[in-house]
Chains A and B, each alone.
Chain A
Amino acid sequence: MFVFAAEGGEEHNPIIPIWQEIVVGTVAFAILCYVLMKFVFPRMEQTFKARVEAIEGGIKRAESAQAEANQLLEQYKAQLAEARTDAARIRDDARADAEGIRQDVLAKAREESDRIIAAGKEQLAAERQTIVRELRAEVGTIAVDLASKIVGESLADEARRKGTVERFLSDLESAGAR
């Protein structure tokens, strides 16, 4: 059974390799290895790498976009807060201004009214003086005329001469004042 007879195909020992088959197998496997390991699998590695990079790049891009968005949001928030404080400040200023203006106007108005009142009083006093003066003259004349009619003769010259009316009126005034 175990005869070394690879040639001819009559008796074979299955654990003795046939050298021609070793040659064929070596050549065929070498070609297979050469083609696959040189042209196919390195390209697969490249594809895998490109794929990983594409995914990681996508993630990185998304992260940077997110960061940018966050930064913008912060910026907007800061700007908004700034605008709010600005608005509040402007409002306060306006309020203060308005108060100032009001005070000014009030003061001016008060001043004006005081001035008008003072002028009125002054005028009134002046008019009173005038009236009193005129009245005094008038009253003298009327009184003298009345007395003349009662007495029946003209007392005017004498009254003027002696200043009777003036004296009487002065006495009257001083009596009224007392």
Chain B
Amino acid sequence: MSVRSLASEVPWPPSVDDFYLPSVVDGAYPWLTKVTILVWIAAAALIVFFLVTYRNPQLVPTKRQWLAESVYGFVRNNIAKDMIGHEGVRFAPYLTTLFCFVLLTNLFGIIPGIQMSPNSHIAFPTILAVISYVLFNYVGIRQHGFAKYMKASLIPPAPWYILPLLVPIEFASTFLFRPFTLAVRLFANMFAGHMILLVFTLGGFVMLNSSALLAPVSLVSWLMAIALTFLEALVVILQAYVFTVLTASYVQGALAEQH
């Protein structure tokens, strides 16, 4: 039985090390792994998609042009304009790029044959979170000037005797926790999703291998894996949306007169 012999080699239980696949080429460990290659593929795929679909834009769009436009239009109108207001159109290009990149790299986690999201490595969410952090602070400082921006961000309209308590909290929540939570939320979702899929998929093999009584249960385990893949699809889209919306919300907060 080839399935059994395959199952006997299944690493169990799944661990953190399952996320760190070896280098594709010997000796190039962190530079050329599945994850880094997927990041390059994501960037290349998005560039190719948008350049091809928008090579020759028409007033009356073709189907492919319409597809590209509706992605941009979605982020532009439903995120940038809704969150930031009229000025939000300025940020729509970055927000769309961010949304597409996060969505595609998340999707890699459930695409059969790939099933590994680069965002389950914290390095990539960290980069995006740092860019969002720099972006909203830069926008705020440019809008109000450094002193006024700091005052607006740190000093809420509250009685003076409560400020010693509020100012550190505001500082921590705006300038420390925001980038951290932004990165960790995305990373943890992708990490946990991959881990759950590993548990049910590998668990099926382990049960198939362990005893005749547990073997049928492995089917249930695999069905769970399939069901959870659909759940993951939801999480994938939701997390891409949340990341973009939160970035837009931070920019809006930085632009606003009052906090």
Contacts and interface: CB of A to CB of B under 8 A. Distances in A.
Nearest to B118: A25
A36 B93 contact: yes
A28 B122 CA distance: 16
A14 B30 contact: no
Interface in A1-34: 1, 6-22, 24-26, 28-29, 31-33
B19 interface: yes
A170 B30 CA distance: 175
Contacts of A39: 51
Contacts of B30: 6-7, 18-21
Given A31-B47, A42-B93, A43-B54, A24 B31 contact: yes
A49 B223 CA distance: 49
A41 interface: yes
Given A12-B17, A22-B123, A50-B59, A44 B43 contact: no
A6 B33 CA distance: 13
Contact of B126 (A12, A17, A44): A17
A29 B191 contact: no
Interface residues of B, number: 47
Contacts of B89: 45
Given A9-B22, A14-B16, A25 B39 contact: yes
B121 A7 contact: no
Contacts of A7: 29-30
B127 A12 contact: no
Interface in B49-102: 50-51, 54, 57-59, 61, 68-69, 72-73, 89, 92-94, 96-97, 100-101
Contacts of B187: 14-15
A37 interface: yes
Contact of A44 (B17, B20, B69, B127): B69
A151 interface: no
Interface of B: 16-17, 19-20, 22, 29-31, 35-36, 39-40, 42-43, 46-47, 50-51, 54, 57-59, 61, 68-69, 72-73, 89, 92-94, 96-97, 100-101, 118, 121-124, 126-128, 131, 184, 187, 191
